[in-house]
Amino acid sequence: MAKKAAKKATAKKAPAKKAPAKATAKKAAPKKAAAKAAPKATAKKASKRTPNAGFMKALALSPELQAVIGKANAARTEVTKGLWAYIKKHGLQDAKNKRDINADDKLKAVFGKTKSTCSK
């Protein structure tokens, strides 16, 4: 019986020892997070983000793409904006699945098919 009482006593003492250790671990975690957050803030101030010249370079567009966008030369970012403006203006985005584009005759010439999917 003494052995059973000793086992119960040690079992009861073990969780009491673990509880303070967890409490100190929780207190230590915010200090690390605060220390990591400070260098990120200074890193943003130190360096400015420069745009990629490849995206900003105006390129000659195909005749089919010129018909949709309305420009002979445009950067890749302008082409994307122009395509979405055309799609929204003509209501070509699928109502049920917004990732699908139902192409009209002009967009069919650009995409090569009547339905384009933006999913993975």
Amino acid letter, residue 67: A
Domains of the chain: 54-117 (1.10.245.10)
Using DSSP, state whether 58 is helix, strand or coil. coil
- Is the separation of the CB atoms in 68 and 110 below 8 Å? yes
State the pLDDT at residue 82: 94
The percent of residues above 90 in pLDDT, for the chain, comes to: 35
pLDDT band at 6 (very low <50, low <70, confident <90, very high): low
Residue 10 has pLDDT above 80, yes or no: no
The backbone torsions φ and ψ at residue 58, rounded to the nearest 5 degrees and listed phi first, read -80, 130
Candidate from 16-20, 108-112, 116-120 with smallest mean pLDDT: 16-20
**Count, residues in the chain:** 120
The CB-side HSE value for 21 (13 A sphere, CA atoms) comes to: 5
